[in-house]
Chain A
Amino acid sequence: MGIPIGSSPPPGWEREGIDGLLGLFPPGRLSEIVGPRSSGASSLLLALIARITTSGTGGQVALVDGMDALDPHSAAAAGADLSALLWVRCGGHLRVALSAADLLARCPGFALVVLDLDDLGPIPASACIRLQRAVEGTGTTLIVRSERHREGSPASLVLAARRLAPQWMGLRPLTRLGGLRSEISISRSRLHSSLSPLGRGQGDGLQGEGLQGEGSWILDWTLSQ
């Protein structure tokens, strides 16, 4: 059932909130963004790419696209600098995607390496550990985006995206899709408080090792026309 966008509390999204969220991802560690279809996980990924490619302290981003799913128009609308984005299309081959991510994780200088697997299949734990080791001690942030979190993954930070409601414009009849409201929550964090931006008071109660399920953000993603 559609929800008229006029009934949702405007603006519903706070810039400070998403900036704090995007600042969570630790360099030199493996992080995960998990979520089912239409959960806002890919939107979060694009926001992160846009932030890094346009940041004076960021830099180059490599995206290993397991399913050839990137829509450059969406990325450009999100503000990403496409010339600073290396797009590797893997055509739905998991092993190729893992090999490409491994190569890029070992190439020093990328600020962010993204392995976007979506529903390509479970990533072997050994591959996760290998990727984690490849970026340890470097300034590279490594993110794996998949449908669900795999037990045994060495990810230092796992963010789970959950769909709340689509936002349709107009009452009856609906006139167009306005966006999507989703919730991003910390499913797991192994970050030490000194490494986590949340330790600076931008989140709720993420302190110390191994805390789970604390800190969440409600975000409204708008559809660019």
Chain B
Amino acid sequence: MTRIACLLLTNELQAHAALLQVALAHSPRVEDAGAGCIYLDASGLQSLFGDDARLAERLRDAAFAVGLAIRVGVAASRLGALAAARLGAGVTVVEPGGDAASLATAPLALLTLSEPLATRLSRWGLRTLGELAALPTAGLFERAGAEGVQAQRLARGEDPRPLASWRPVPAFEESVECEWGLETLEPVVERLSELATQLCGRLGARGLAADGFEWVCRLAGGCAHEGALTPAVPLTEAAAVTGLLRLALEARPPRGIVEGLTLRARPTRAGAVQESLTDPSRPSPRFLAATMNRLVALVGSDRIGAPALLDSHRPDAVGLGAYASPSPRRGEGRVRAPVLALRRLRPPAPAAVTLASGRPVAMRSSRLAGRIVAGVGPWRSSGEWWTTQPWLQDEWDVELADGTLCRLAHDGSAWHIAGIYD
């Protein structure tokens, strides 16, 4: 016999997480319904806590002990328990088999319905769950479809869906106190390495990886030195984490004697992909993460990544996305087309261009200079005139006397060299 208890916070601003912990202390199966509402599986708890009324009172008292005011309803279905909690006073228990009767007077708004169905039921003049439950099922299916029938089953106290079990997110955090203060970086890294080993072991046991780390160095005098790093790929190897921590601390060492250390990991689901024996080699996450961090220190985080084409016609509209060493695509590995490459000049080089009959005949800039022997254009493009940064550009493909092919551009006020064909 299924019994479900609903715990409803009287004030939704109260601590929802604390209520989840109260529920989890009484039943291993708890569903977080959000908005201050929690369901727990009360089946089989009689031998532990007594009958439903005693269990409900115990839940209310446990919540009160942590400073939460709640209402409790116990019934055979979630909707029955919710109605009992919401409409009852304090603690309400619906006897087995009494869900339909108790729901009969409850308002239809207790159901979470789609907008069209709610509108349709409202037009039919239905106000209570009992009125919905009394409709002929076949006719309801013809007019409201499967969703209507499902709503009717809930209104009749039938709830076949099992609880969506909620599990607390484990805290991946390790700390160590140092008996003697650490004055140099090396012992600090050693302690952090030990913490990283413990964390990675716990993550690995749960099939998780970490995509972020935070550390706190408690310094003598009460100050704290904090930092965080985000590896290029989720990590589970302590050696790789240690390498990254070492790099980060070398770049920004703690300013004082370290008396305690805390390392936190942000868990994420590790990709469980079986690599194929025939796949090409890829950089291992460990080496790639260390290399990426060194490259970021060298060139800056905004200058490294996978090139990405932006959804814009603006010239040179490109960005940098995260590079994560993706799995290779299966392809024939043959060149699709021999495409002439354009080498961009960033920023575009200003140029002095001489015109004859509206066409460029000579140009001079810090990068290129010479007579123009052939050229085509202008190719006009413009866009984003609806924003505060509209752009307009006339482009010319020209050949200089020395054979250089380049793209000239005129943005309405000045000429510049956009790139060189190579």
Q: Mark A161-189, 1 if CB is under 8 A from B, else 0.
A: 00100101000011111011000000000
Contact present for A76 and B309 (CB under 8 Å) = yes
Does A120 reach chain B (CB closer than 8 Å)? no
Contact present for A103 and B298 (CB under 8 Å) = yes
Complex: A109 Cα to B196 Cα, angstroms: 25
Contact present for B320 and A87 (CB under 8 Å) = yes
Contact present for A71 and B419 (CB under 8 Å) = yes
Does B303 reach chain A (CB closer than 8 Å)? yes
Complex: A77 Cα to B283 Cα, angstroms: 26
Contact present for B278 and A110 (CB under 8 Å) = no
> Residue B328 contacts which of A35, A56, A103 (CB distance < 8 angstroms)?
A56
Q: Contacts A41-B422, A54-B329, A68-B346: A46 and B341 contacting too (C-beta < 8 A)? A: yes
In the complex, residue of chain B having the shortest beta-carbon distance to the beta carbon of A63: B307
Does A122 reach chain B (CB closer than 8 Å)? no
> Residue B341 contacts which of A45, A51, A83, A100 (CB distance < 8 angstroms)?
A45
Complex: A45 Cα to B335 Cα, angstroms: 11
Which B residues are in CB contact (< 8 Å) with A193?
Answer: none
> Residue B281 contacts which of A47, A82, A111 (CB distance < 8 angstroms)?
A111
Q: Contacts A103-B294, A180-B340: A82 and B308 contacting too (C-beta < 8 A)? A: yes
Q: How far is the CB of A43 from chain B (nearest CB, A)?
A: 4
Does A104 reach chain B (CB closer than 8 Å)? yes
Contact present for B374 and A174 (CB under 8 Å) = yes
Contact present for A82 and B338 (CB under 8 Å) = no
Does B32 reach chain A (CB closer than 8 Å)? no
> Residue A163 contacts which of B318, B345, B403 (CB distance < 8 angstroms)?
B403
* Total B residues in contact with A, Cβ cutoff 8 Å: 61
Contact present for B328 and A69 (CB under 8 Å) = no
Q: Contacts A41-B422, A54-B329, A166-B374: A89 and B291 contacting too (C-beta < 8 A)? A: no
List which A44-74 residues lie within 8 A (CB) of chain B. 45-47, 50-60, 67-74
Which B residues are in CB contact (< 8 Å) with A41?
Answer: 422
Does A79 reach chain B (CB closer than 8 Å)? yes
Which B residues are in CB contact (< 8 Å) with A221?
Answer: 338-341
List which A185-225 residues lie within 8 A (CB) of chain B. 219-224
Q: How far is the CB of A165 from chain B (nearest CB, A)?
A: 8
Does A24 reach chain B (CB closer than 8 Å)? no
Q: Contacts A58-B280, A68-B344, A71-B341: A78 and B335 contacting too (C-beta < 8 A)? A: yes
> Residue B307 contacts which of A56, A70, A108, A109 (CB distance < 8 angstroms)?
A70
Does A88 reach chain B (CB closer than 8 Å)? yes
Which A residues are in CB contact (< 8 Å) with B278?
Answer: 56
Q: Mark A129-145, 1 if CB is under 8 A from B, else 0.
A: 00000000001000000
Does B323 reach chain A (CB closer than 8 Å)? yes
Contact present for A54 and B345 (CB under 8 Å) = no
Contact present for B295 and A83 (CB under 8 Å) = no
Contact present for A223 and B399 (CB under 8 Å) = no
Does B13 reach chain A (CB closer than 8 Å)? no
Complex: A175 Cα to B399 Cα, angstroms: 14
> Residue A13 contacts which of B280, B304, B338, B374 (CB distance < 8 angstroms)?
B338
Contact present for A79 and B329 (CB under 8 Å) = no
Contact present for A51 and B335 (CB under 8 Å) = yes
Complex: A199 Cα to B338 Cα, angstroms: 25
Contact present for A179 and B305 (CB under 8 Å) = no
Q: How far is the CB of A45 from chain B (nearest CB, A)?
A: 7
Q: Contacts A75-B307, A168-B376: A103 and B295 contacting too (C-beta < 8 A)? A: yes
Q: Mark B325-347, 1 if CB is under 8 A from A, else 0.
A: 11011111111111111111110
Contact present for A109 and B283 (CB under 8 Å) = yes
Complex: A13 Cα to B325 Cα, angstroms: 33
Q: Mark B344-374, 1 if CB is under 8 A from A, else 0.
A: 1110000000000000000000000000011
Does B47 reach chain A (CB closer than 8 Å)? no
Contact present for B281 and A139 (CB under 8 Å) = yes
Contact present for A47 and B335 (CB under 8 Å) = yes
Does B284 reach chain A (CB closer than 8 Å)? yes
Q: How far is the CB of A67 from chain B (nearest CB, A)?
A: 8
Does B421 reach chain A (CB closer than 8 Å)? yes
Complex: A73 Cα to B419 Cα, angstroms: 13
Which B residues are in CB contact (< 8 Å) with A89?
Answer: 299, 303-304
Contact present for B298 and A100 (CB under 8 Å) = yes
CB within 8 Å of B: which residues of A? 1-2, 13, 15, 18-19, 22, 35, 37-43, 45-47, 50-60, 67-79, 81-91, 96, 99-100, 103-104, 106-111, 118, 139, 163, 166, 168, 173-177, 179-180, 219-224
